[in-house]
Amino acid sequence: MLSRAFAVASSVSFAALLSAGQSIALELPLPPEGEDVVGQIQVIKAKYEDTFAALGETHDLGYLELIAANPGVDPWLPGEGTDIILPTRYILPPGPREGVVINLAEYRLYYYPEGKDVVHTFPLGIGREGWGSPVGNTRISAMTSNPAWYPPQSIRDEHAADGDPLPKVVPPGPDNPLGPYKLSLALPGYLIHGSNKKFGIGMRVSHGCFRMLNHNVLELAGLVKVGTSVRIIDEPYKFGVSQGKVYLEAHTPLQDEEQKMTLMDKHAVVINTLLKRDESAGSLQLDWEMVREIIAGEDGLPIQIAEQGQALATHEEPVF
82 contacts 28 by C-beta, under 8 angstroms: no
pLDDT at 185: 96
Q: Three-class SS of residue 90?
A: strand
CA distance 294 to 274: 14
Q: Using CA atoms, how far apart are residues 295 and 108, in angstroms rounded to an integer?
A: 19
pTM for the model stands at 0.87
Residue 276 CA to residue 315 CA, distance in Å, equals 20
pLDDT computed for residue 296 by the predictor: 93
Contact 47, 40 (CB under 8 A): no
Which residues are within 8 A (CB) of 261 and not within 5 positions of it... i.e. 6 or more apart? 253, 255, 269
Q: What is the phi/psi pair of residue 237, to 5°?
A: -120, 120
- The answer to whether residue 193 is catalytic is yes
Q: Which residues pair with 103 in a beta bridge?
A: 108, 233
Taking a C-beta distance cutoff of 8 angstroms, is the pair 228, 192 a contact?
no
Task: Give the SS3 label for residue 274.
Answer: helix
Largest Cα–Cα separation, the chain: 66
Of residues 59, 120, 193, 267, which has the active-site annotation?
193
Q: What is the pLDDT along the chain (320 residues), one digit of tens a residue?
A: 455 555 555 555 433 443 444 444 589 999 999 999 999 999 999 999 999 999 999 999 999 999 999 999 999 999 999 999 999 999 999 999 999 999 999 999 999 999 999 999 999 998 765 556 889 999 999 999 999 877 777 677 666 666 666 767 778 888 888 899 999 999 988 999 998 877 778 777 655 689 999 999 999 999 999 999 999 999 999 999 999 999 999 999 987 566 678 888 888 888 888 877 765 555 678 888 999 999 999 999 999 999 876 543 333 344 44
E strand or H helix at 162: none
CA distance 210 to 217: 10
Out of 59, 120, 207, 209, the active site residue is 209
Taking CA atoms, 103 is separated from 80, 156, 256, 311, in Å, by 33, 29, 16, 31
Active site residue 207: no
| C-alpha dihedral, 299 to 22 to 51 to 48, nearest 10° | 130
**Domains assigned to the chain:** 4-233 (2.40.440.10), 237-308 (no CATH)
- E strand or H helix that includes residue 136: strand 136-145
Q: Cβ(206)–Cβ(178) under 8 Å?
A: no
The Cβ of residue 80 has, within 10 Å, a number of other Cβ atoms equal to 11
